[in-house]
């Protein structure tokens, strides 16, 4: 159901009244939790996350989808949240930097690698860099440095920490492969034990 809220008139005498603002309910599944919020149809996903849900890890920088600082995962695919409308995400899964840590609170391998490799300066682009790298590594689990450079090209860093970022992504890929191999071997051993 749509909801109309009155917008106060300007303080100037003789001004034209501002028309009421239409809001609509949407439901977002953010980091596994369902949130129902009222938004104006023009509200972007980054504004819904930051303003309506208080999730300020996703940064708003350019507002044009050009820098990647607002990158989140939408149904597992990376998107720039500043140019997608929140109503387009109704009923969909959104993953933000706040939901990236492992269930026990341990930082995601990419978060840990960014710290180890000093892959951040001011930190403003870091959440978008990490979220972009999550999607990139899912599709490229054994990337070369050149593949990382190309795969992360949509994320800008004004502090020019690109070398550290590439090293962090490469290191995280190695750590994630080792973790997958270990857990895969444990699963195989468990499966073999159940069969005997």
| 13 is a domain residue | no
Q: In this predicted structure, what is the pLDDT of residue 21? A: 82
pTM of the complete model: 0.83
Q: How far is CA 174 from CA 72, 102, 113, 168, in A?
A: 23, 18, 10, 10
User: With helix as H, strand as E and coil as C, how does the chain read?
Assistant: CCEEECCCCCCCCCCCCCCCEEEEEEEEEECCEEEEEEECCCCEHHHHHHHHCCCCCCCCCCCCCCCCCCEEEECCEEEECCCCEHHHHCCCEEECHHHCCCCCCCCCHHHHHHHHCCCCCCCCCHHHHHHHHHHHHHHCCCCCHHHHHHHCCCCCCCCCCHHHHHHHHHHHHHHHHHHHHHHHHHHHHHHHHHHC
Instruction: Choose the final residue of a domain: 49, 64, 99.
Output: 99
Largest CA distance in the chain: 86
| 137 is a domain residue | yes
Range of the domain at 164: 109-186
- Which CATH number fits the domain that encloses residue 144? 1.10.150.120
Instruction: Choose the final residue of a domain: 99, 128, 153.
Output: 99
The span from the CA of 77 to the CA of 72, in Å, is 8
| 168 is a domain residue | yes
The span from the CA of 167 to the CA of 118, in Å, is 9
| 90 is a domain residue | yes
- 26 and 93 together in one domain: yes
Phi, psi of 4 (to 5 degrees): -110, 130
Q: What is the pLDDT along the chain (196 residues), one digit of tens a residue?
A: 556 555 455 445 556 676 778 999 999 999 999 999 999 999 999 999 999 999 999 999 999 999 999 999 999 999 999 999 999 999 999 999 999 998 899 999 999 999 999 998 899 999 999 999 999 999 999 999 999 999 999 999 999 999 999 999 999 999 999 988 776 555 434 444 444 4
Q: In this predicted structure, what is the pLDDT of residue 5? A: 54
| 170 is a domain residue | yes
- Which CATH number fits the domain that encloses residue 51? 3.10.20.30
Number of domains observed in the structure of the chain: 2
- 121 and 162 together in one domain: yes
Q: In this predicted structure, what is the pLDDT of residue 190? A: 46
Placement of tokens 């899912």 in the chain: 138
The span from the CA of 99 to the CA of 131, in Å, is 10
- 91 and 130 together in one domain: no
- 123 and 157 together in one domain: yes
Contacts (Cβ under 8 Å, ≥6 apart) of 188? none
- 28 and 92 together in one domain: yes
- 47 and 117 together in one domain: no
């Amino acid at each position: 159901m749509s909801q109309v809220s009155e917008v106060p008139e300007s303080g100037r005498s003789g001004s034209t009244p501002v028309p009421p603002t239409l809001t609509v309910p949407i439901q977002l599944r953010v980091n596994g939790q369902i949130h129902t919020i009222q938004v104006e149809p023009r509200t972007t996903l980054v504004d819904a996350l930051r303003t309506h849900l208080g999730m300020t890890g996703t940064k708003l920088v350019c507002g044009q989808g050009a820098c990647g600082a607002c990158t989140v995962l939408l149904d597992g695919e990376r998107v720039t949240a500043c140019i997608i409308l929140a109503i387009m995400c109704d009923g969909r899964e959104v993953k933000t930097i706040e939901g990236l840590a492992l269930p026990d609170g341990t930082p995601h391998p990419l978060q840990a690698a960014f710290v180890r490799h000093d892959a951040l300066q001011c930190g403003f682009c870091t959440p978008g860099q990490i979220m972009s790298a999550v999607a990139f590594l899912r599709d490229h689990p054994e990337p070369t440095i050149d593949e990382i450079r190309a795969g992360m090209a949509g994320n800008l860093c004004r502090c020019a920490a690109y070398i550290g970022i590439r090293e962090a992504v490469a290191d995280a890929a190695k750590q994630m492969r080792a973790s997958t191999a270990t857990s895969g071997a444990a699963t195989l051993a468990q499966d073999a034990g159940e069969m005997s």
